[in-house]
Amino acid sequence: MYRAPRGMQDILPDDQPAWQQLIALCEDIAKRYGYRRIDTPIVEATEVFLHGVGETTDVVEKEMYTFRDKGENALTLRPEFTAAICRAYLEHGMAAWPQPVKLYAIGPLFRYDRPQAGRYRQFHQFNVEAIGDADPSLDAEVIDLAGQLFQEAGLTDLDLVVNSIGDEHCRPAYVAALRDYYRRWQDLLCADCRARLERNPLRLLDCKNPTCLRLGEEAPRSLDYLCTPCAAHFQQLAAYLDRLGRRWRIDHRLVRGLDYYTRTVFEYQPTEGGAQSAVGGGGRYDGLIARLGGKPTPGIGFATGLERVLLNRRKAGREEPAPARPLVFVVAIGEETRVEAVALASRLRARGIPTAGPLLSRSPKAQFRQADASGARLAVVLGPEELAAGEATLQFLREDRPPQRVPLAELAPVLLASA
């Protein structure tokens, strides 16, 4: 038997109400904060991610679905939104729009990762980007948007952790200090970290190996190396966050996995979960647009995995939204009513009434059973007698009310009134 590819899931009809409700919430929050929707292709030129995300990141080194199309173009299934959206910002001359340009996207992403609970190879993100303004109030706005989303999604036990990893002026000294520090403990590092030490020592800070974790606690801290403008930026952000009333703390080891981050990085982590299970996160990427060939342009963004939000909602015992049900179920009795029953169902649907049936391959009894199981509130019964009189019988399936004969011409308004 064929199965969905490993790490990829079908979202079945019973799962859809929770998904659609979450997507509607994301879109509503985006609208309230002034973000407009953008959709980019699911594939991009591989170079967008190579240059954008960075060649020494896990995402680019190990996790991309890259292929050549029949025209020999190197393409990659998008592993994230930010680089793709910045590509679109440049391609469509958005630098000439009023800044910042505030965009959001929702859709599937692909990473060839090791599947486990909450980690998939195809997953979905809600992602926001504010491009073209470096002010820390925007960092605060994006962090606030994320907090508001999680609050309204019913995720209460989340910690907001924040750090600043500096910019191109102050980060080199920090990275050098980090490399010096870890070189002293080289023999204790896991194999991955030993390999990353020279190329990208920042990444050692978020290694989950217990020894590397302990070494990380004593490692030099980026906040101690910030240049004056970066330190001021962080201080202002702190003041905004305090005033917004969102509980937060500094985590010196938070660096996040992608190369393009500068200054602010943040994550929302389940209180008991640990960093690996971050529900969402983001940061500032003031160097990214230039890496993609544009003029230096600041930006800040946030992304959350919809699967992880739903998982955490369920863990928190939040009620699932009710599945959609038809309002009416058309039951046809007798050969001669068949044609009229089909036309009747079509007319009701055209009037905006969710209508199931008729199930003409089944006996009337079986049709009633199906009507019950469908969750419909009403059965609209069409038998020979009704057909002759130009009427239908309304039967209430979940209430103790007598059946009611209604002329076919009045059926839609009567049903709409009882909805």
| Cβ nearer to ligand AMP, comparing 216 with 280 | 280
Q: Which of 280, 298, 299, 326 is close enough to bind ligand AMP by CB under 6 A?
A: 280
Q: Which of residues 121-160 bind ligand AMP (CB under 6 A)?
A: 123, 125
Residues 397/399/400/405 CA torsion (nearest 10 deg): -60
Q: Which of 75, 146, 278, 356 is close enough to bind ligand AMP by CB under 6 A?
A: 278
Question: What does the alpha-carbon distance between residue 51 and residue 46 come to, in Å, rounded to a whole number?
Answer: 9
Question: What does the alpha-carbon distance between residue 117 and residue 95 come to, in Å, rounded to a whole number?
Answer: 40
Phi, psi of 136 (to 5 degrees): -65, -15
Any contact of residue 174 with ligand AMP (CB under 6 A)? no
Any contact of residue 305 with ligand AMP (CB under 6 A)? yes
Q: Which stretch binds ligand AMP (CB under 6 A): 84-92, 152-160, 277-285, 370-378?
A: 277-285
Task: Kindly state the tokens that stand for 308.
Answer: 């992880």
Closest distance between ligand AMP and the C-beta of residue 305, in Å? 3
Task: Kindly state the tokens that stand for 199.
Answer: 């190329």
Q: Which of 196, 308, 313, 377 is close enough to bind ligand AMP by CB under 6 A?
A: 308
Any contact of residue 279 with ligand AMP (CB under 6 A)? yes
DSSP code of residue 338: H
Q: Which of 100, 281, 287, 326 is close enough to bind ligand AMP by CB under 6 A?
A: 281
Question: What does the alpha-carbon distance between residue 249 and residue 240 come to, in Å, rounded to a whole number?
Answer: 13
Question: What does the alpha-carbon distance between residue 138 and residue 195 come to, in Å, rounded to a whole number?
Answer: 36
Alpha-carbon Rg for the chain in angstroms: 28
Any contact of residue 203 with ligand AMP (CB under 6 A)? no
Phi, psi of 190 (to 5 degrees): -70, 165
Closest distance between ligand AMP and the C-beta of residue 163, in Å? 14
Residue 70 has a CB neighbour count (10 Å cut-off) of 5
Q: Which stretch binds ligand AMP (CB under 6 A): 98-106, 120-128, 137-145, 180-188?
A: 120-128
- Residues lying near ligand AMP in the complex (CB under 6 A): 80, 111, 113, 118-120, 123, 125, 257, 278-281, 303-305, 307-308
